[in-house]
Homo-oligomer: A and B are copies of this chain.
Amino acid sequence: MAAHDFDPLAARSDLPAAPILPEGATLNAGRPLTSIPGPSVIPERVLAAMHAPMPNIYEGALVEMSERLLAELPQLAFTDGEAFIAIANGHGAWEMALTNTLSRGDRVLVLESGRFAVGWGNQAAMLGCEVEVLAAPARRGVDPAALEERLRADGGHAIKAILVVQIDTASSVVNDIPAIRRAIDAVGHPALLMVDCIASFACMEFRMDAWGVDVTVSGSQKGLMVPPGLGFVWASQKAIAAHREAGLRTAYWDWTARMGGGAHYMRYCGTPPVTHLYGLRAAFEMIAEEGLENIWARHAVMAHAVRSAVAAWSAPGGLEFHIEDPAARSNAVTTVLTGGVDAIRLRALAEQEAGLTLGVGLGDFQDRAFRIGHMGHMNPPQLLGTLGTIEAVLHAMGAPMGGSGVAAAAAALSGALHAGRVTTAGMRGG
């Protein structure tokens, strides 16, 4: 493997030689960092809120808090529709979405652009739906024109629902949901548009009503910064109407019972997820304090820094972007192809020797790809710590590198440090 040809240590010539770390010693003896595309880093404030004794679950403060959370959820999705909290992971939320809107034999169109929409479609198939997959071009996002063409051919409106992910956590693509909606509207097709926002919610812009989304699905463990264990589903009025006719409804997922008005436990079909609700409360407070649109902007800057690093590292036989279209690279996760570099070894070295966990390349990718999660509770020290450690590992492996990715990322972030508003009052304590 050709070594990189840049020498970041040129300036160091006056320093003593580098110390040798004995074989028995390790640098992996600090605060571990997990930069995977979910579960994301859980804020200490959320963990602390979850460290709490059990309350009265039938009445009082817990019930009030739970009702407030349910009332705030639609606002986060920019919808006037209903929101539901499922004690489940994202796959459970998928099932809640499908069983509440569809019936056996319904045709479902899956817009493939990685791994996850297909997984959702497989669930629909197991529930007895007829599932058809429309694949995006390799290493690209969903093509709205191809969707429009397919829908135009469905003059009888056999297709009842269209499943798509906003961000595919495996490929790291982001799909253009408004364009997909426009394609549907262009042919006046009545199918429900169901969007998986598991990896994008509270990371990238999403406006359910304005974008004409009928069912939105998400989970707690990514942009929402809460450990895995909660799934979220939002339903438009059109989806609620479909729900009334749906043949796949089951008691655990059923929206009607969860819509409120009866005993509070019916909101969760049983005992509420007390501990996770405490965490969610804290996360919602943090989101409100920062502002959802500011969060999207932060993710854009951080993602740009990651992409600056990958571009700098890129070299023949070495790293490159998995998603070729710059506009289709998501702001929450970046999948990096590693060329001739052993990606499993790269991740192992980062985790075992430096305390950094990176995302596995999913499916066919695992030997030749890794993923960087840059979603949720992440600031410059975390991001640059992640990128710097990857770079140290690339050096250690002798991987080809075009230049310093972490240096590029530091420069890329610098424009977003608002020097103008910094205050130095009271900073003379020493």
B16 lies within 8 A of A31 (CB): no
Option from B351, B378, B409, B429 in Cβ contact (under 8 Å) with A263 = B429
Confirm or deny: A156 has a beta carbon within 8 angstroms of a beta carbon on chain B. Answer: no
Task: Give the interface segment out of A138-146, A206-214, A237-245, A419-427.
Answer: A419-427
The CA-CA distance from A44 to B265 in the complex, in Å, is 26
List residues of chain B with CB within 8 A of the CB of A63. Answer: 426, 429
B301 lies within 8 A of A18 (CB): yes
Option from B38, B127, B301, B384 in Cβ contact (under 8 Å) with A19 = B301
List which A261-277 residues lie within 8 A (CB) of chain B. Answer: 263-265, 268-276
Most chain B Cβ neighbours within 10 Å, of A9, A51, A127: A9
CB distance from A264 to the nearest CB of B (A): 6
Confirm or deny: A153 has a beta carbon within 8 angstroms of a beta carbon on chain B. Answer: no
Question: Assembly of this chain: how many copies?
Answer: 4
B429 lies within 8 A of A264 (CB): yes
The CA-CA distance from A349 to B379 in the complex, in Å, is 13
The CA-CA distance from A304 to B26 in the complex, in Å, is 15
List which A12-26 residues lie within 8 A (CB) of chain B. Answer: 12, 14-16, 18-26
B87 lies within 8 A of A19 (CB): no
A315 (CB) vs chain B CBs: closest residue: B11
A41 lies within 8 A of B53 (CB): yes
Option from B126, B345, B385 in Cβ contact (under 8 Å) with A380 = B385
Option from B24, B88, B381 in Cβ contact (under 8 Å) with A87 = B88
A13 (CB) vs chain B CBs: closest residue: B311
Size category of the A interface is: 35 or more
Confirm or deny: A74 has a beta carbon within 8 angstroms of a beta carbon on chain B. Answer: no
B360 lies within 8 A of A59 (CB): yes
List residues of chain B with CB within 8 A of the CB of A334. Answer: none
Confirm or deny: A158 has a beta carbon within 8 angstroms of a beta carbon on chain B. Answer: no
A31 lies within 8 A of B360 (CB): no
Confirm or deny: A411 has a beta carbon within 8 angstroms of a beta carbon on chain B. Answer: yes
The CA-CA distance from A287 to B50 in the complex, in Å, is 23
A253 (CB) vs chain B CBs: closest residue: B95
A126 lies within 8 A of B250 (CB): yes
The CA-CA distance from A419 to B417 in the complex, in Å, is 36
Confirm or deny: A330 has a beta carbon within 8 angstroms of a beta carbon on chain B. Answer: no
Contacts A18-B412, A381-B356: A53 and B29 contacting too (C-beta < 8 A)? no
Confirm or deny: A391 has a beta carbon within 8 angstroms of a beta carbon on chain B. Answer: yes
CB distance from A74 to the nearest CB of B (A): 23
A301 lies within 8 A of B27 (CB): yes
List residues of chain B with CB within 8 A of the CB of A311. Answer: 11-12, 14-15
B227 lies within 8 A of A422 (CB): no
Confirm or deny: A134 has a beta carbon within 8 angstroms of a beta carbon on chain B. Answer: no
Confirm or deny: A246 has a beta carbon within 8 angstroms of a beta carbon on chain B. Answer: no
Besides A8-B410, A126-B251, 10 more A-B contacts (Cβ < 8 Å) are: A8-B403, A22-B293, A29-B290, A29-B377, A30-B378, A87-B88, A127-B251, A355-B381, A381-B386, A396-B417
8 CB contacts below 8 A, A to B, read A12-B308, A25-B291, A30-B381, A88-B252, A354-B380, A355-B380, A384-B385, A397-B419
